Structure 1
Amino acid sequence: MNDKHRGAWYIVASAAGFATLGILIKSAFAGGANISTVLSGRFLLAAIFLFAILRARGVNCRLERKTAFQLILMGAVGYDGMSGLYANAIHYLPASLTSMLLYAYPALVTVLALIIGEERFNAPKGIALVVCSVGLVSLLGASFEGARLAGVLSGLGAAVIYSCYIIIGNRILKNIDPMVTSLWVCGAAGLASLCYGLIRGELVLDITPAGWLSIVGIAIFPTIFGVMGFFAGLRLIGATNASIISMLEPLITVLLSALLLGERITPLQGFGGAVLLFGGLILQLWGHEARHETVTEV
């Protein structure tokens, strides 16, 4: 398996991990948790698990001061900020519309990557982006009727922050172990969430066992697997391709909701899912040749 296919599978695995987030958060909320508690537990537990795994492997987690500072900013400002805005948007908007707004980020990443000269553009990338966007709209069936401005701005803000996060990550992470990267990002995001929750007095510890188990699941699947898989794929296929393939996440979420929660898949959602897969196929077959060959294996 060559690098481009291996990188694509990393992103698909990452999308599958992220796809469990909504279901697990819903379960954590049902167990008495709130946003501050979920975010703090999610990132701090993930950092602890990653540190234990890296120590067992004998991997040195230290980084150069400049790189460490960049990763801390990525975690505390980028990933934690994006997560907070996304959660705030959920309070004001339907989940489908919130997802639609967040998934403006593949287009933003494509534009930013072109502006800064990080990647070259080609027709298959453009076609894949348009096809996947059409599939996403069909899959989520979002409506702007009755949408509140605060929610729309939060959702778009999350997309902008995540786009910058991906572009920055693509530039500085090419020679760093994805697990080490994930440790620093999750640790910084967890500490930022913890400090915010303590200052606001929002941390909740009176949570049911099912709620705590859900938080542990959030730390493992959408955080360790999701973040680490994304960083691993990002190093191999670039920011634009990784962002477009990540649009499979809502499709996997819908499938998991049908399997685990018994939710019904409509014909329009089925059509949207098929279009998303077709867009991903276009990208895999024809969309890789325009990337600069700058990735260095560790």
Structure 2
Amino acid sequence: MEQGEAAARPVAGAATSFRSRAWFGWVLALTASASFSVATPLARAVIADGLDPTTLLVVRIGLAALLLGLTIGLTTPSQLRADGRCVRISLAAGSVNSIGMLTYFWGLQRLEASMAAMLIAISPIGVLSLLALRGEKVTYRHAVRLALALAGVYLLIGPGGQVDPIGVLWILAALVCFAVQLVTLQWYLMDYEARTVTFYVLVAMTLGVVVMWLLEGAVWHPLGVKGWVAAVVLAVVSTYLSRLLLFAAVSRIGGGQMAMLSPVETLLSVLWAFLFLGERLSPLQWAGGALILFSAVLAIQRLGIARLRPRWRLWAKS
């Protein structure tokens, strides 16, 4: 009996350790989702107040790339080294993502944060559609998911056309860019270290937004106190810390579990927009948002079956 009890103790201890690790992983995951969720309403608040979106992105992405590079250099410097193929593809993906970030922020000049957050939640549908071009089997269920998403967009925009169509087009352009970036990483960089790829993507994003700033005339628009606070929060909380939390969470609970929190992030963004920006949605728009979130959940489940590596599909965030 004593031998049996002694043998059971290590098993019980291992089970307790596993549960503790899982619970801590979920705490990290929820914190990461909350960190990502503040980006859209915060950016909308300062952009609607007159802040230049390109200038804001230069500070946000540049500071985040610097912080991540320093962190990797001080903790795991070997992860800064990558072969030419990894660097080239990461830079290409980051360039596409920089276009997506620019169009997303331009969209926030015209659309409320809650609207933009709901629209960008269709991203998994875009990823699935691009995977179909690579040979992923298209089923009637994909058609159903796409129909749900399109119906949701129609209801969200409003049958009466009250929403700025240019703003919607900017957000949808961002959605396409984010989807292209994700499938590029999945197709060509699946076996590389996520932090290494993330760093080089952020470097390319920084270069991309700086190039756009130069094309716009290289005029530095003063951020002011409010703008600097917003830029630092966006860089440190919603870009740098959120990704570190994401990597830590994925290592504990897995990318599939983390991916299922994407709708939670969307709902949190809408909640912050309601609480702090005074935004509201009509009943029809709520119905549209619900259809979009439902189609996104179905698409995320399908992406798991399609073996789209979860760690890549998680961090193309606004």
Q: Which whole-Å CA distance do the structure 1 matches of 2:132 and 2:243 have between them?
A: 24
Q: Which whole-Å CA distance do the structure 2 matches of 1:265 and 1:295 have between them?
A: 31
Question: Rg: which structure is higher?
Answer: 2
1:53 corresponding residue in structure 2: 71
Cα deviation, 1:128-160, whole Å, max 9, x if unaligned, reads x5798499669x943261555544433332222
Go from structure 1 to structure 2 and tell me whether the alpha carbon gap of 1:230 and 1:97 turns closer, same or farther (over 3 Å shift).
farther
1:24 corresponding residue in structure 2: 42
Q: Give the number of aligned pairs.
A: 287
* Corresponding residue SS for 2:174: helix
> Cα RMSD over matched residues?
4.6
2:233 corresponding residue in structure 1: 217
1:85 corresponding residue in structure 2: 103
Is the 8 Å Cα contact of residues 127 and 180 (structure 2) preserved in structure 1? yes
Go from structure 1 to structure 2 and tell me whether the alpha carbon gap of 1:7 and 1:137 turns closer, same or farther (over 3 Å shift).
farther
Is the 8 Å Cα contact of residues 136 and 250 (structure 1) preserved in structure 2? no
Q: What displacement does 1:190 show?
A: 0.9
2:192 corresponding residue in structure 1: 176
Is the 8 Å Cα contact of residues 101 and 174 (structure 2) preserved in structure 1? yes
Cα deviation, 1:252-288, whole Å, max 9, x if unaligned, reads 112223444565687778878888887788789x768
Q: Which whole-Å CA distance do the structure 2 matches of 1:122 and 1:170 have between them?
A: 21
Matched, 1:74 2:93: yes
Q: Tell me, which stretches of 5 or more residues in structure 1 are unaligned? A: none
Q: Which whole-Å CA distance do the structure 1 matches of 2:188 and 2:28 have between them?
A: 19
* Corresponding residue SS for 1:204: coil
Go from structure 1 to structure 2 and tell me whether the alpha carbon gap of 1:153 and 1:62 turns closer, same or farther (over 3 Å shift).
same
Q: Which whole-Å CA distance do the structure 1 matches of 2:143 and 2:30 have between them?
A: 20
Cα deviation, 1:71-119, whole Å, max 9, x if unaligned, reads 111112x1111112223333445555544543443212112223314x6
Cα deviation, 1:11-45, whole Å, max 9, x if unaligned, reads 76654333211222134437763111111111110
2:57 corresponding residue in structure 1: 39
**TM-score normalised according to structure 1 size:** 0.72
1:65 corresponding residue in structure 2: 84
| Letter of the structure 2 residue corresponding to residue 40 of structure 1 | V
Matched, 1:109 2:127: yes
Matched, 1:155 2:176: no
Cα deviation, 1:190-212, whole Å, max 9, x if unaligned, reads 12211221332254352222311
Cα deviation, 1:149-184, whole Å, max 9, x if unaligned, reads 544433332222221111112223433332222211
Q: Which whole-Å CA distance do the structure 1 matches of 2:261 and 2:143 have between them?
A: 13
* Corresponding residue SS for 2:305: coil
* Corresponding residue SS for 2:77: coil
Q: Which whole-Å CA distance do the structure 1 matches of 2:29 and 2:186 have between them?
A: 14
Q: Which whole-Å CA distance do the structure 1 matches of 2:287 and 2:164 have between them?
A: 29
Go from structure 1 to structure 2 and tell me whether the alpha carbon gap of 1:236 and 1:29 turns closer, same or farther (over 3 Å shift).
closer
Q: Tell me, which stretches of 5 or more residues in structure 2 are unaligned? A: 1-17, 312-318
* Corresponding residue SS for 1:174: coil
| Letter of the structure 1 residue corresponding to residue 107 of structure 2 | A
Q: Which whole-Å CA distance do the structure 2 matches of 1:173 and 1:10 have between them?
A: 25
Cα deviation, 1:200-225, whole Å, max 9, x if unaligned, reads 22543522223112101111233224
| Letter of the structure 1 residue corresponding to residue 82 of structure 2 | L
Q: What displacement does 1:53 show?
A: 0.7
| Letter of the structure 2 residue corresponding to residue 42 of structure 1 | R
Go from structure 1 to structure 2 and tell me whether the alpha carbon gap of 1:268 and 1:44 turns closer, same or farther (over 3 Å shift).
same
Q: Which whole-Å CA distance do the structure 2 matches of 1:48 and 1:109 have between them?
A: 29
Between 1:249-258 and 1:92-101, the stretch displaced more is: 92-101
